[in-house]
Structure 1
Amino acid sequence: MTDIVLATLNAKYQHASLGLRYLLANMGELRPQTRLMEFVWDQRSTEIAERLLTERPRIIGLGVYIWNARETLQLVQVLKAVAPEVIIVLGGPEVSYEQEEQAVVTAADYVIAGQGDLAFAALCQQLLHGERPAQKIIHVTPPPLEQINLPYDEYTDTDIAQRLVYVEASRGCPFKCEFCLSALDKTAWPFELERFLAALARLHARGVRHFKFVDRTFNLNVKASRRILQFFLDRLSDDLFLHFEVIPDHLPEGLKELLVRFPPGTLQLEVGVQSFNPAVQQRISRKQDNAATEANLRWLRAHSHAHLHADLIIGLPGEDLASFATGFNRLWALRPHEIQVGTLKRLRGAPIARHTDEFAMRYDPQPPYTLLANRDLDFSTMQSLTRFARYWDLVANSGRFGHALPLLLGDDAFGRFLQFADWLYAATGQTHKIALPRLFQLLHQALVEVFAVPEQDSLTALARDCAAFGAKGCPEFLHGHLQQVQQAARRNAPVRQARHLQN
């Protein structure tokens, strides 16, 4: 019998909810009566409700996040319309703050505000015994980590075969960057390392080779980071892949000596730069040594095989267009493999809200609460920068245009790509669903007509980009140049490699 269903709406099927698995692992004697069900946010709310109610649960717990808040509201409204007797309990960061403003909170029965690893099971015990707490909002303090059962055995064989496996060696963050909910944490708390490594060993033995760490500050505790890196070095294989989020200005020699030992394709480091402007950093309580950040990124690019994914945020209070452009070009000069350009979002509860009036911060009232305009960036400029970010993903971060991109960016990466983005939107009216052959054609047109790149140089660069990924998706106008590039590659290749190219 399923008395309790734990559910959430993920952004993609491959995302497996770590939070729900923590709840499931800590249900205690209620574990046999509890089932975990996951959906994708774009499924119909009526279909999700039907599947949930097929279990005939008495309690449904829903994880609410910034990316699924609207869809979760629709689901709760459907559930309450057709099965009002089912008790709906909400949890997650989206409903842990500012509950009085949220329709989804009004529609539900209870909300657990904070880390509900143990609190959810305790609430279910009360409810199943007919005890209804008087308070709708149940505020909980973070439980001691040693009291929490780890969730990793709750990953099923199907999860391991088809989905991303998320893990965390610690919770919280000691830093106070105001755009992030972790600014509310007092510090970072590590899980007991031997217990965590034993759980990783079980996952590895079951076939997990892709580990995504969700720690905010993986390299904060160097001793623990070294133990974890050594754990994976002892288990290196061609299919191993690790993702860590790291502090950009903290890379001691003890970590460097291990990072250099990971082969290509094994390690991805997410480096949160966010802004290079010292005044902006101070304003949002972000402590960052910019010189050390640059030195560390240069070292990682030169001496490690790690794939570097660096983040910048558009719209931080006091960061005008010129400042952002300077920071972008400064980061581009360090050549991370990806620059993720994100627009500021006002997370519920995040301290960034204190700047709203002074800097005229105007956010979309609907999730994910993206900045629409502020004192220094008007709405039109923000729209242009949003398209910049989308097209940067499409062209630069895709890795498809390694030869054409230098021609496009020249010596002013931000200025020229913003010009390209404005031109591309004017030419297409689209930011999505641009087919690859058409993108090749548009990029060639922009290089020649907008940036005065010699046509032969553009054609050769784009043909080389086609050749790097195979002819599939290569537009017809490049076929002749592609053959020339491939012939030149055969002529210049060593004899053994030339035979390989012929096969």
Structure 2
Amino acid sequence: MKIALATLNAKYIHTSLALRYLKAYSERDFEIEIVEYTIKDPVMNIVSDLYGRQPDVVGFSCYIWNIEETITVIDMLKKVKPDVKIVLGGPEVSYDTDYWMKRLPQVDFIVVGEGEATFHQLLTELRGEQKFHFVLGLAYRDGDEVRINPPRPKLDLNHLPSPHRFPEDVAHLPNRVVYFETSRGCPFSCQFCLSSIEVGVRYFDIERTKQDLLYLINHGAKLIKFVDRTFNIKRDYAMEIFQFLIDNHQGCVFQFEITADIMRPEVLDFLAEHAPPGIFRFEIGVQSTNDPTNLLVKRRQNFTKLARTVTKVKESGKIAQHLDLIAGLPLEDYTTFKKTFNDVFALEPEELQLGFLKMLRGTGMRHDAEKYNYVFMERAPYEILGNDHLPFSDIVRIKRVEDVLEKYWNAHRMDHTISYLIRHEFPSPFDFFQEFGDYWEARGWRKIGHQLEDLFTRLRDFLQQRGTKRMDVILGLMKYDYYLNHKQRPRKVWWDFNMDKATHADLLRQAAEQPGRLSDEFASNRLNERDLHKHAVVEILPFDLDAYLATGRVLEQRTALFAVYRPKGGEPVRCYTMKLDEGAVRLA
């Protein structure tokens, strides 16, 4: 009996941890291969590939992001290979299982919940006496009837074989994301999250965890994402893993989901002192700062402590942080969500993800949807379309905020410019993103693509049309950000470069002759005038850039900005400034 375990990942770089657990648990007794596709792959290609493997059983791992595409694949596969047994599993089909069995007559079985032992027992019955009523955690067909067996007791995690030791994965480790878990379950009861359904947290043996991590690191893994719902809930366990990764990281990056308001000060102090810069990333689900909302959805959160943690981590400069918000939670209207957004944006996380409530099957929020008059998509991803407090018109407006937030803040294309605008030109961060998002939508830009230069010119056009005060300062910061976005000397700029050639050449000559006036670092490069003509660009700004970057104050001082793209290759752009005499393009 040949078994294929398949899934449609969101992107090629993603990998399926679930399939690897299933194979590791059953491969001693069955011939199993893992085949991964993406939701962008043509359906015909997927079906052709599966058909060519001639499996007797195909198991699909199902999530909200791939269920509809998976259904299309199943429908075609069953038509060209009617005898194949189709098995579904994963969080999307583990709830409302009767609905899925009745909606999808092509599906023979659904593995409900934790699947390793259930899938193994199902394969055993398929090869043997086919007494499916003995398989706990299984939904199956008995003639025209759908049978759903009682759930399976939770597994002892230390009896699960490692999913990380397949030789065929080794070549791909440097180029794909490795998903890793040290525990299963969640201690919290947030009603919008599937993790709240499983009570309690179970841990893998820490020595086994260390050995798996070391194996992945030694074989070239570059990014490992821990899927634990609250990695730091058990302080001693988390601290031991942090120390182990600090000692053995070899340049690999590790991402964790943490609960920030329970992070102990001594843990933060330890990370600030010992963590190498850039190897850890934290994902923190804030979701809402509206207390009545958090109380209703059973989300315990102390925002004051959360903010203290985020601020302390940011000040250390060691760990990038990704904060999440959910628009559309109960009792949160447009005004209170605006406050939530501004509360969290004030922490200036490296990334702020603005998502919309999804009424996931099995969650308390979906169960109580009628109580708050929720309207939502009937098919995955079940995103809300409105409720008593947030009508669809407001959701559409907030989506415009999400769009420009992704393009301008999370992509880090104009950090200095956006920070200036939010501090000096707009009432709040939300107001900036909302106004710009409305302007973007009104001009139809959402329907067309954009290049880097377009992002700058569209922001400039918006600000000019709005009558923004200090456009000279803003344009100077935009030029600075534009140069920082390039690894090589840009061939063109998006503004009218009106410096005459003689002035441009004179500034480069002065920089070459008096490099110490720019900085000691610039002088250490030992770049001559010819090098600068080849590898540097110059722009005159109407203010002192260094003073602004250091203090946030705008000082009226003409300044020459030099962006140097180093000839050695692979090195980031370096920017230097020198002050100019008033009325002349000379060193001050």
TM-score bracket for this pair, using the shorter chain length: over 0.9
Q: Is the Cα contact below 8 Å between 1:72 and 1:104 reproduced in 2?
A: no
- Kindly tell me: are residues 101 and 329 of structure 1, through their superposed partners in 2, closer, same or farther at Cα, counting changes over 3 Å? same
Q: Which has the larger radius of gyration?
A: 2
Find the counterpart in structure 1 of residue 222 from structure 2.
209
- Distance (whole Å) between structure 2 residues aligned to residue 42 and residue 332 of structure 1: 33
| 1:272 counterpart SS class | strand
Find the counterpart in structure 2 of residue 250 from structure 1.
262
Q: CA RMSD in A?
A: 2.3
- Kindly tell me: are residues 309 and 128 of structure 1, through their superposed partners in 2, closer, same or farther at Cα, counting changes over 3 Å? same
Find the counterpart in structure 2 of residue 93 from structure 1.
91
Pairwise CA distance, 1:236: 4.0
Write out aligned runs for 1:49-448 (5 A). Answer: 49-102=47-100, 105-129=104-128, 131=130, 133=132, 135-136=139-140, 137-138=148-149, 139-154=151-166, 156-237=169-250, 239-260=251-272, 261-409=274-422, 410-430=426-446, 433-448=449-464
Q: Is the Cα contact below 8 Å between 1:391 and 1:431 reproduced in 2?
A: no
- Distance (whole Å) between structure 2 residues aligned to residue 211 and residue 124 of structure 1: 31
Q: Which of 458, 464, 474 matches 2:474?
A: 458
Find the counterpart in structure 1 of residue 560 from structure 2.
none
- Distance (whole Å) between structure 2 residues aligned to residue 333 and residue 381 of structure 1: 22
- Kindly tell me: are residues 84 and 71 of structure 1, through their superposed partners in 2, closer, same or farther at Cα, counting changes over 3 Å? same
| 2:179 counterpart SS class | strand
- Distance (whole Å) between structure 1 residues aligned to residue 259 and residue 447 of structure 2: 32
| 2:257 counterpart SS class | strand
The more displaced of 411-420 and 83-92 is 411-420
Q: Which of 500, 506, 523 matches 1:496?
A: 523
| 2:48 counterpart SS class | helix
| 1:256 counterpart SS class | helix
Runs of at least 5 residues in structure 2 that lack an aligned partner in the other structure: 134-138, 141-147, 528-563, 568-588
- Distance (whole Å) between structure 2 residues aligned to residue 106 and residue 280 of structure 1: 40
- Kindly tell me: are residues 464 and 498 of structure 1, through their superposed partners in 2, closer, same or farther at Cα, counting changes over 3 Å? farther
- Distance (whole Å) between structure 1 residues aligned to residue 241 and residue 192 of structure 2: 29
Relative contact order, higher structure (CA 8 A, sep 6+): 1
Q: Is the Cα contact below 8 Å between 1:166 and 1:213 reproduced in 2?
A: yes
The more displaced of 406-415 and 82-91 is 406-415
Q: Is the Cα contact below 8 Å between 1:317 and 1:359 reproduced in 2?
A: yes
- Kindly tell me: are residues 400 and 369 of structure 1, through their superposed partners in 2, closer, same or farther at Cα, counting changes over 3 Å? same
Find the counterpart in structure 1 of residue 495 from structure 2.
477
| 1:29 counterpart SS class | coil
- Distance (whole Å) between structure 2 residues aligned to residue 153 and residue 314 of structure 1: 40
- Distance (whole Å) between structure 2 residues aligned to residue 6 and residue 325 of structure 1: 44
Pairwise CA distance, 1:240: 2.2
Q: Is the Cα contact below 8 Å between 1:448 and 1:458 reproduced in 2?
A: no
- Kindly tell me: are residues 371 and 310 of structure 1, through their superposed partners in 2, closer, same or farther at Cα, counting changes over 3 Å? same
| Matched AA of 1:26 | Y
- Kindly tell me: are residues 37 and 479 of structure 1, through their superposed partners in 2, closer, same or farther at Cα, counting changes over 3 Å? farther
| Matched AA of 2:260 | P
Q: Is the Cα contact below 8 Å between 1:407 and 1:453 reproduced in 2?
A: no
Pairwise CA distance, 1:49: 1.3
Number of matched pairs = 498
Q: Is the Cα contact below 8 Å between 1:28 and 1:121 reproduced in 2?
A: no
Q: Is the Cα contact below 8 Å between 1:183 and 1:351 reproduced in 2?
A: no
- Distance (whole Å) between structure 1 residues aligned to residue 498 and residue 126 of structure 2: 71
| 2:35 counterpart SS class | strand
Q: Is the Cα contact below 8 Å between 2:246 and 2:276 reproduced in 1?
A: no
Pairwise CA distance, 1:435: 2.1
Q: Is the Cα contact below 8 Å between 1:193 and 1:224 reproduced in 2?
A: yes
The more displaced of 449-458 and 6-15 is 449-458
Q: Is the Cα contact below 8 Å between 2:278 and 2:318 reproduced in 1?
A: yes
Deviations 1:237-295 (A, max 9, x none): 4x321101100201113422331122322211001111111110000000011111111
Deviations 1:154-203 (A, max 9, x none): 36123213211111111110100111001101111111111111111111
| 1:380 counterpart SS class | helix
| Matched AA of 1:466 | Y
- Kindly tell me: are residues 498 and 317 of structure 1, through their superposed partners in 2, closer, same or farther at Cα, counting changes over 3 Å? same
| 2:434 counterpart SS class | helix
Q: Is the Cα contact below 8 Å between 1:89 and 1:112 reproduced in 2?
A: yes
| 1:152 counterpart SS class | coil
- Distance (whole Å) between structure 2 residues aligned to residue 473 and residue 245 of structure 1: 41
Query: Normalising to structure 2: TM-score of the pair?
Result: 0.80
| 2:372 counterpart SS class | coil
Find the counterpart in structure 1 of residue 16 from structure 2.
17
| Matched AA of 1:476 | W
- Distance (whole Å) between structure 1 residues aligned to residue 152 and residue 490 of structure 2: 54
| 2:248 counterpart SS class | coil
Deviations 1:434-479 (A, max 9, x none): 2221111101111222251433223211101111122549643265
Runs of at least 5 residues in structure 1 that lack an aligned partner in the other structure: none
**Identity across matched positions, percent:** 30
Q: Is the Cα contact below 8 Å between 2:457 and 2:494 reproduced in 1?
A: no
- Kindly tell me: are residues 249 and 227 of structure 1, through their superposed partners in 2, closer, same or farther at Cα, counting changes over 3 Å? same
Pairwise CA distance, 1:146: 1.7
Q: Is the Cα contact below 8 Å between 2:4 and 2:55 reproduced in 1?
A: yes
- Distance (whole Å) between structure 1 residues aligned to residue 243 and residue 107 of structure 2: 46
